[in-house]
């Protein structure tokens, strides 16, 4: 399950087809049939799928480029939890922010699906990692993942914690997925040559019948003035995995780089919760409640 599916269900997700459609942007499973022009995949193969919609179902038809070979060392749940979160974290930190071991890295929403993936990748690079979350239960998970500075951003001002940190208190790379005040405060923490990568807006709460919420949403969308970026020699960048799906060569390269990296560093996806297919409502409620940890996986079949 992905947070985008919550937004999609509410009609707030830009990269979604017209209603009605079946939700679900990724899954793990077995190929049961192939088209006559399919050359790279075969029946019986276990694959992970990345797609725009349709994985809350027993069967899905996708283009062969969207069916990536499953990772042998992972369980079914770990394979289901891997593609979107780790590709997003990888593209943000490695391809866009060009992470290196000397970077200090701030991961917003560090205990979630994308967040835990980003923490694992940044730690494997040897970076000093700051991670935020909204509750103490999730702080424990951050400690387990060796986050250097876990921060409950509901209890304390994360900017103060960063500013008072031992290395002078600036950040080289920020992965930001909340928007609003969290983005505004984050961007001011960047060191010269620092990069903030926006990969989501979890706080977006647009109600199309309420004009006040339009203004609030407009104000919450991350933006920065080029002259301000120039004054601080910093960069604002963004990514959306969905728009990369139709670039097969690039996707294949990213997938190979990422899977090599996770194998080398023995990284395993954090599956926090597993639900049965007929409990999808509960799974959505859990994610919206902000109480989920790591990835939520839904099992279509036992
Ligand atoms: N760009 C891409 O291609 C891409 C791909 C995948 C995901 N994303 C984005 O990455 C973010 C995380 O996605 P995910 O699937 O891994 O979800 P997740 O982090 O597992 O779950 C959502 C978490 O967001 C945090 N959050 C912050 N403000 C929130 C709010 N106002 N309402 C609800 N939750 C809020 C909560 O954690 P705390 O309470 O600990 O803050 C919550 O547990 C989302 O913004 C998503 O859209 C982007």
Nearest to 238 by CA among 179, 156, 302: 179
pLDDT in tens, 93-131: 999 999 999 999 999 999 999 999 999 999 999 999 999
Question: 181 — phi, psi (to 5°)?
Answer: -65, -35
Which stretches within the chain are classed as H helix?
Answer: 3-9, 76-80, 83-90, 113-124, 136-144, 158-163, 180-187, 211-220, 226-232, 248-264, 280-289
As given in the structure block, the two tokens for residue 267 are 């990284």
Cis upstream peptide for 20 (omega within 30°): yes
| Domain 3-82+269-299 homologous superfamily, CATH | Medium-chain alcohol dehydrogenases, catalytic domain (3.90.180.10)
| Average pLDDT rounded to a whole number, residues 167-187 | 93
* CB-CB contact of 277 with 27 (8 Å): no
249 or 206: which carries more pLDDT confidence? Answer: 249
* Confidence grade of residue 297 (pLDDT, cut at 50, 70, 90): very high
* Confidence grade of residue 214 (pLDDT, cut at 50, 70, 90): confident
| Average pLDDT rounded to a whole number, residues 67-88 | 97
| Average pLDDT rounded to a whole number, residues 272-280 | 97
Percentage of residues of the chain with pLDDT beyond 90? 87
CA dihedral 212, 217, 220, 226 (to 10 degrees): -110
Nearest to 202 by CA among 53, 34, 7: 7
As given in the structure block, the two tokens for residue 53 are 């919609």
pLDDT of residue 196: 98
Q: Where in the chain is the domain with CATH 3.90.180.10?
A: 3-82+269-299
Q: How far apart are CA 224 and CA 172, in angstroms?
A: 17
> Which residues, listed in sequence order, are joined to residue 173 by a DSSP beta bridge?
105, 195
pLDDT in tens, 10-37: 888 888 999 899 999 999 999 999 999 9
Q: Where in the chain is the domain with CATH 3.40.50.720?
A: 84-242
Q: How far apart are CA 106 and CA 195, in angstroms?
A: 11
| Domain 84-242 homologous superfamily, CATH | NAD(P)-binding Rossmann-like Domain (3.40.50.720)
pLDDT of residue 19: 87
State the closest ligand 1 atom to the C-alpha of 288, by its place in the atom list counted from 1.
Answer: 33
Atom 39 in ligand 1: which residue has the minimum CA distance?
Answer: 134
What mean pLDDT is reported for the chain?
95
Q: pLDDT at residue 168 above 90?
A: no
Distance 275 CA to ligand 1 centre (A): 19
| Residues with C-beta less than 6 Å from any ligand 1 atom | 2-4, 84-85, 88, 109, 111-115, 133-134, 138, 177-178, 199-203, 239-241, 287, 290, 292
Pocket test for ligand 1, best of 3, 139, 216 (most atoms within 8 A of CB): 3
Atom 46 in ligand 1: which residue has the minimum CA distance?
Answer: 200
Q: How far apart are CA 59 and CA 54, in angstroms?
A: 9
pTM: 0.96
pLDDT of residue 157: 96
Atom 13 in ligand 1: which residue has the minimum CA distance?
Answer: 3
Nearest to 71 by CA among 268, 300, 216: 268
Q: How far apart are CA 198 and CA 21, in angstroms?
A: 27
* Confidence grade of residue 204 (pLDDT, cut at 50, 70, 90): confident
State the closest ligand 1 atom to the C-alpha of 138, by its place in the atom list counted from 1.
Answer: 40
- The owner of tokens 């899977």 is 259
| Average pLDDT rounded to a whole number, residues 182-203 | 96
* CB-CB contact of 5 with 299 (8 Å): no
Atom 9 in ligand 1: which residue has the minimum CA distance?
Answer: 200
Give the gyration radius of the chain's Cα atoms.
19
pLDDT of residue 127: 98
H/E stretch holding 68 reads strand 67-69
Distance 212 CA to ligand 1 centre (A): 23
Distance 193 CA to ligand 1 centre (A): 26
| Residue 211: burial class (beta carbons within 10 Å; 0-12, 13-18, 19+) | exposed
């Amino acid at each position: 399950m992905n947070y985008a599916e919550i937004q999609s269900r509410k009609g707030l997700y830009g990269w979604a087809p017209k209603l009605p459609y079946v939700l679900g942007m990724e899954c793990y499973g077995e190929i049961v049939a192939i088209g006559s022009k399919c050359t790279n995949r075969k029946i019986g193969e276990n694959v992970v799928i990345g797609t725009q919609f349709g994985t809350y179902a027993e069967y899905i038809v996708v283009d062969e480029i969207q069916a990536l070979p499953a990772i042998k060392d992972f369980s079914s749940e770990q394979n289901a939890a891997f593609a979107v979160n780790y590709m997003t974290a990888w593209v943000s930190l490695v391809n866009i922010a060009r992470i290196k071991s000397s970077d200090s890295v701030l991961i917003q929403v560090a205990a979630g699906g994308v967040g835990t993936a980003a923490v694992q990748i940044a730690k494997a690079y040897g970076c000093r990692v700051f991670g935020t979350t909204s509750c103490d239960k999730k702080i424990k998970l951050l400690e387990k993942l060796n986050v250097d500075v876990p921060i409950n951003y509901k209890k304390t001002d994360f900017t103060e914690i960063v500013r008072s940190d031992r290395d002078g208190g600036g950040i080289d790379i920020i992965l930001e997925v909340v928007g609003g005040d969290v983005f505004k405060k984050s961007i001011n923490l960047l060191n010269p040559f620092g990069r903030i990568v926006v990969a989501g807006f979890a706080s977006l709460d647009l109600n199309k019948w309420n004009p006040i919420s339009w203004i609030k949403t407009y104000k919450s969308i991350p933006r920065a003035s080029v002259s301000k970026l120039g004054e601080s020699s910093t960069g604002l960048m963004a990514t959306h995995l969905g728009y990369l799906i139709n670039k097969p060569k690039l996707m294949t390269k990213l997938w190979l780089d990422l899977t090599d990296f996770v194998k080398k560093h023995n990284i395993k996806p954090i599956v926090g919760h597993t639900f049965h297919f007929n409990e999808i409502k509960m799974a959505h409620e859990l994610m919206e409640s902000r109480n989920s940890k790591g990835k939520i996986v839904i099992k279509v079949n036992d």
